[in-house]
């Protein structure tokens, strides 16, 4: 008797808890108003786009794939719509007037990107997506993004030894050396032999640069067999 009574109280408590959890979920229901991410698109020979982009989850249309949702609810990956890696690509393409194309897979409920700004995949080179220097485990319309995330679309992403990351000061004095550092964005390991403004990084990934003109320069690190780095904007005074 007491046992049954305790059991029904326990059951009632479970129901109440479930209701509370449900309520909390509703209260924190994320909105799809849009967010700003740092988008970078590294093409075969040059950077196609690099900068902040405002994006929200929305329908996307490609020539080869047609019109489909692209808000993270693809293949039930997320419960609520929101901005995604591919919505960011699409919003940048529209705002900055470059084209992209992708086929659509019903099985994955997602686009497979084939071309961005004329750089088309080949039998061995494909476009890949990294979120904060980590390959996304799911497709670009499934992978939601947050404010300030670093979204990288890279050509031939699956056949490179590293995704370069460049760090350094934002300002320098005329003819005064400053140190920049090139690392592997995934592991943080220093990268030797990368070129930054004509100077090659040492074993510790360091590059010593000095400038004989005032103004602003955008520096990137490049190395054969890797994906070139983010840009660091440096003001020389």
Ligand X SMILES: *[C@@H]1O[C@H](CO)[C@@H](O)[C@H](O)[C@H]1NC(C)=O
Binding site for ligand X (CB under 6 A): 59, 67-69, 97, 124, 159-161
Tell the residue number behind the tokens 């679309």, with chain if given.
153
Secondary structure (3-state) at 76: helix
Choose between 22 and 159: whose C-beta lies nearer to ligand X: 159
Q: How far is the CB of 90 from ligand X (least distance, A)?
A: 13
Q: How far is the CB of 21 from ligand X (least distance, A)?
A: 30
Choose between 68 and 228: whose C-beta lies nearer to ligand X: 68
Q: How far is the CB of 69 from ligand X (least distance, A)?
A: 5
Choose between 120 and 210: whose C-beta lies nearer to ligand X: 120
Q: What whole-number distance in Å separates Cα of residue 53 and Cα of residue 88? A: 7
Q: Exposed, middle or buried by CB within 10 Å (0-12, 13-18, 19+), for 118?
A: exposed
Helix ranges restricted to H, the chain: 2-27, 85-95
Beta bridge partners of 196: 199, 221
Please answer whether residues 228 and 42 qualify as being in contact, where contact means their C-beta atoms are separated by less than 8 angstroms.
yes
Task: Residue 68: count other Cβ atoms within 10 Å of its Cβ.
Answer: 19
Question: DSSP readout, 138-171?
Answer: S-TTT-B--TT-EEEEEETGGG-SEEEEEE--SE
Q: How far is the CB of 126 from ligand X (least distance, A)?
A: 11
For the record, the structure tokens of 34 come out as: 């849009």
Q: How far is the CB of 43 from ligand X (least distance, A)?
A: 15
Q: Are strands 195-196 and 47-55 parallel, antiparallel or unpaired?
A: unpaired
Q: How far is the CB of 167 from ligand X (least distance, A)?
A: 24
Q: How far is the CB of 124 from ligand X (least distance, A)?
A: 5
Q: Running DSSP on this structure, what letter comes out for residue 75?
A: G
Q: What whole-number distance in Å separates Cα of residue 24 and Cα of residue 26? A: 5
Choose between 159 and 237: whose C-beta lies nearer to ligand X: 159
Secondary structure (3-state) at 106: coil
Choose between 31 and 59: whose C-beta lies nearer to ligand X: 59
């Amino acid at each position: 008797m007491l046992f049954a009574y305790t059991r029904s109280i326990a059951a009632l408590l479970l129901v109440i808890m479930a209701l509370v959890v449900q309520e909390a979920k509703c209260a924190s229901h994320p909105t799809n108003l849009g967010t700003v991410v740092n988008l970078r698109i590294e093409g075969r020979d040059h950077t196609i786009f690099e900068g902040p982009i405002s994006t929200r989850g929305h329908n996307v249309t490609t020539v080869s794939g047609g019109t489909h949702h692209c808000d993270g609810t693809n293949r039930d990956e997320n419960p609520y719509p929101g901005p995604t890696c591919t919505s960011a690509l699409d919003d940048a393409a529209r705002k900055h007037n470059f084209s992209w194309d992708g086929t659509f897979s019903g099985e994955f409920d997602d686009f497979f990107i084939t071309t961005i700004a004329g750089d088309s995949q080949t039998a061995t080179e494909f476009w890949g997506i990294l979120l904060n220097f980590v390959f996304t485990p799911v497709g670009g319309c499934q992978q939601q993004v947050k404010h300030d995330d670093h979204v990288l679309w890279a050509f031939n992403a699956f056949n490179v030894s590293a995704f370069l990351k460049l760090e350094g000061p934002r300002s320098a004095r005329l003819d005064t050396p400053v140190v920049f550092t090139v690392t592997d964005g995934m592991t943080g390991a220093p990268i030797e032999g990368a070129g930054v403004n004509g100077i090659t990084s040492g074993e510790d990934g360091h590059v010593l640069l000095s400038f004989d003109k005032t103004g602003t320069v955008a520096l990137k690190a490049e190395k054969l067999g890797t994906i070139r780095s983010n840009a660091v904007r440096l003001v020389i005074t």
